[in-house]
């Protein structure tokens, strides 16, 4: 059985509240779970201790049994110092999209043409 430690969403519309749960990976996100391991309330300020609550001992137990934490849960565990920080690399994230690159290229061409035109105008005025 492939185990996951992941978030299960609760709360009302536009008021999210998550449970950190150990579950079979084939179950739906908000469906059946084996054990509740903590909570996460994204509406609280980031420095609040109530924002993320975890039962670290049970999480370590489930990890030792082969459960894989999801990316968001592993970030919580890294912040708590339970697991080592993973190296993440997404070099494409900072790059603008194709349309933005095209606009930037067009702006650069226009600026270059304007600079050449003003330089040619200055040479003609100097003569």
- Residue 124's pLDDT is what? 64
- Residue 123's pLDDT is what? 65
Strand-pairing partners, residue 54, are 38
pLDDT in tens, 61-100: 999 999 999 989 999 999 888 888 887 777 777 788 889 9
pLDDT in tens, 15-28: 999 999 999 989 88
Among 51, 41, 104, residue whose Cα is nearest residue 80: 51
Does the pLDDT value for residue 102 go beyond 80?
yes
- The label of the residue with tokens 């084939």 reads 26
- Residue 105's pLDDT is what? 92
Rounded mean pLDDT of the chain? 87
b/e 36-75 (16+ beta carbons within 10 angstroms → b): ebbbbeeeeeeeeeeebebeeebbeebbeeebebeeebbb
Strand-pairing partners, residue 21, are 6, 36
Domains of the chain, residue spans: 3-80, 89-127
* Residue with more model confidence, 15 or 117: 15
Query: Highest mean pLDDT range out of 24-33, 37-46, 92-101?
Result: 37-46
3-state secondary structure of 12: strand
Gyration radius of the chain's alpha carbons? 26
Q: Which CATH topology does 3-80 take? A: S16 Ribosomal Protein; Chain: A; (3.30.1320)
């Amino acid at each position: 059985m492939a185990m996951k430690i992941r978030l299960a969403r609760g709360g009302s519309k536009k008021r999210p509240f998550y449970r950190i749960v150990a579950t079979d990976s084939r179950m739906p996100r908000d469906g059946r779970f084996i054990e509740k391991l903590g909570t996460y309330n994204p509406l609280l300020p980031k420095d609040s201790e109530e924002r993320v609550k975890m039962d670290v001992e049970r999480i370590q137990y489930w990890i030792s049994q082969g459960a894989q934490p999801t990316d968001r849960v592993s970030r919580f565990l890294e912040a708590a110092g339970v697991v080592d920080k993973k190296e993440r690399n997404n070099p494409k994230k900072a790059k603008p999209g194709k349309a933005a690159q095209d606009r930037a290229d067009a702006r650069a061409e226009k600026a270059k043409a304007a600079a050449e035109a003003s330089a040619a105008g200055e040479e003609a005025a100097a003569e």
